Amino acid sequence: RRVHGIFMVETYSDGEYSSDEDVEFDFKHTAKENVGFSINQSNAKVASLSMKKINFSTLTPKESSSMTNQAQNKFMTSIKKQDESKLRNKDKADRATTELVMDSRTKLILHKLIKKEIVEEVSGCISTGKEANVYHAVDSKGKEFAVKIYKTSILIFKDRDRYVAGEFRFRRGYCKHNPRKMVTMWAEKEFRNLLRIKAAGIFVPAPIAVKGHVLVMEFIGKDMIAAATLRNADVHSLEEWELLYMKVILLLRKLYQECKLVHADFSEYNLLLSEGEIYVIDVSQAVEQDHPMSLEFLRRDCQNIKVFFETKGVKCISLKRAFYVIIEKSLEANLDYLKTLMINAKKPTTEDAKFEDEIFKNLSLPRSLFDVEIEKLHNSHPEQINILNMVTGTKFRRSSSLHEKYKGEGSEIEEEKSESESESSGEDKGETKEKTEEDKKKTGKFDPFEGMSKKERKQKVKLEKREKRKTKMPKHLKKKFEKKNKQ
Q: Which residues are catalytic?
A: 265, 282
Of residues 431, 428, 423, 424, the one with CA closest to residue 458: 423
3-state secondary structure of 214: strand
Quickly list DSSP for 153-183.
Answer: SS-S----HHHHTT-GGGTT----S-HHHHH
Of residues 152, 138, 48, the one with CA closest to residue 94: 152
Give the strand pairing for 207-211 and 214-218. Answer: antiparallel
C-alpha 315/C-alpha 336 separation (Å) is 16
Provide the strand spans (E) within 104-143. Answer: 121-128, 132-138
C-alpha 98/C-alpha 24 separation (Å) is 61
R_g of the chain computed on alpha carbons: 41
Taking the CA atoms of residue 94, residue 95, residue 100 and residue 101 in that order, the dihedral angle to the nearest 10 degrees is 70
Quickly list DSSP for 51-94.
Answer: HTT---S-----TT----HHHHHHHHHHHHHHHHHHS----GGG
C-alpha 362/C-alpha 394 separation (Å) is 23
Are 384 and 474 contacting, i.e. CB atoms less than 8 angstroms apart? Answer: no
Q: What distances in angstroms separate CA 347 from CA 73, 84, 238, 318, one per listed residue?
A: 91, 79, 17, 12
Of residues 387, 413, 414, 409, the one with CA closest to residue 398: 387
CA angle 417–419–423, rounded 5-degree value: 115
